[in-house]
Structure 1
Amino acid sequence: MSATGRYVHRRGLHCESACQCAVLAAGGYDVDEEIVFGLDGGFGFSFFPANGNAPDIVVGKQAIMPLRAARLMGVDVATHTPRSGAGLAKLLESAPAVMIRVDLGLLPYWGLEGRSSFGGYFVNVVRPLGADAFEVSDPAFDKPVSMSTAQLQAARSSRATPPLNPDWKAYVLGAPRRTPQLDRVGPVAVRNLCREVLRPGSRNLGIPGMKLLATTAASWPESKIGEVEDVDLAGRVVRTDALARQLLHLGRQIESFGTGGGLFRPMIGRFLNRVADSTGEARYAEAAGQFLDSGRQWSNLGSALLAAGTDTARDDLKTLVDAVADTARSAMDVEKRALGALTTL
């Protein structure tokens, strides 16, 4: 029997946690997005340099769909890789919605025309619309949208952003069996956060990844050269400087691509405040304030990069490159202090 009809589209801040919250709500369980985000354990930093003049990738997380929050809530999650519209429709026969991973740049309603890619984005597929289309719930938008099956398959199969390619992944969430006690599981999630961001075991992740961004950004004026195609903020295809494309892409990654703004830092700050309220431990609130400060720094940078757009002169772009490196170093120092204090709890 089809379970569609119980699902209600809702806007959210972070694609992954907002999609999970909407599916859980369809099953009768309402949970705040920052709680799912904080318990999931994906927060952090990732930096993946790209080949040639393609944009380097920055993500404010270190894991894609880690499913820790689901485990804490006793939610069974089945992972599938259907490679056809019929296979996706089959999953919807017994689920209110199916979470799928996609390349954001290939979602037609975003207007990026495939010229700006991010393969770690999530949407919920709600129902088939005839044989050749689906209704899609994207938490960045006010209303559901429709996509042709071909468009959806292109976004699900993209190979444009290794190591963040979607790989056809689809997730079916079951009903929660328990409510996590934040005073008990919150501190555990925070300890995991500290360990994974401070000592991630990879120079591309966490604090080492922020250092790598700061040093690599300085080389962008030499590595991001030549004229390339991009899509400006009005959705127009333009010819632009590769360095301008890099900076605009970074601005979108910080502010626009499902982070809620500030590269997830305000979200983790709100989660830490919730942990402080549930435990009575003020040091969580102090760290929350530091992450909110870091989030303001990232947002200020992201807003400046978006304002520069695609028409800025190259000398002015070099000034923005300096701002990228300075922000990465400054925010890193703030976050290291916050995390260092949390490790003593």
Structure 2
Amino acid sequence: MARHLEDEHIPFPILVGDIGGTNARFWILTDVYAEPREFPHVRTAEFPTIDQAIQDCILDKTAVQPRSAILAVAGPIKSDEIPLTNCDWVIRPKQMIANLGFEDVLVVNDFEAQALAAASLSKDDREPIGTLAETSLASRVVLGPGTGLGVGGLVYSRHVWVPVPGEGGHVDIGPRSKRDDQIFPHIERIEGRISGEQIICGRGIVHLYRAICAADGIEPRWTDPADITSHGLEHTDPVAVETLELLATYLGRLAGDLALIFMARGGVFLSGGISQKIIPALKLPAFRAAFEDKAPHSALMKTIPTFVVTHPQAALAGLAAYARTPSSYGVSHDGRRWRKG
């Protein structure tokens, strides 16, 4: 049964996991100080259940048997049966305790883990976008274009970092420029609306590319976001180049909106593989120009740094930071932590 146990440490060794739609990633932390034991990525489609994947790919591969697990998942945590958004696995903490030998299981939102990473990663794990390279102990925002568009906040209060999960990727996004007015009528809508996730994520790159083609009367050449991205970065296709420029612009606008909402003087952090791949496009003027264009607060926006998170396992690093020093983070356990007995 879930309990209020925020003040209790989770016992080591701890299995930390980042469970995505395609891949699941795991580390084992043997104690507070040791480097994590890393494991190969697990393809979710190759296992019928997460329990089977953990048993076969982790527990059977190491003599160190974790007593606890902290799992970050893309999906709502409403009960002791937690379905994932983009794969068929269902996380059942009570069953994990019964079958896998865990004493303690904590499940958090995937962007809480990304927010924890934004609080704890070093300068070497982030790439500044723009001239500002320093951050401060102040509220932060994390955005992650990937399969969808994840958003999380991070509030610093009374010497504690408090992650704030949300669904900010689904806010409305609309046209501002003449070029936007030409393109937006061709963007695929969901029940009549265009959300950030419709154009700022993997499939959004394709939506945006097709909309540009439709606006200009051009036959689309590419259907894979990786192709559009590579041709845009290599300047081998003018529509792909404009797609990346507009992607950076719309990402900058939304990032700026969220920075204002959270008063994120500590910075905005762009996470995930897409952000890392398009760093050259983000370093062009379009992203920061859109981010700062928030009259009457443009002067304020110029003081807020923006970064791409470059750590290859940022979510696991965030979970590990929390596991080692839980008193530094205000992570709620209510309804999300289960213990043996």
The answer to whether TM tops 0.5 is no
When the two structures are superposed, what TM-score results if normalisation uses the length of structure 2?
A: 0.28
More strand by share: 2
TM-score normalised by length of structure 1: 0.28
Structure holding more helix per residue: 1
- The structure with higher relative contact order (CA 8 Å, sep 6+) is 2
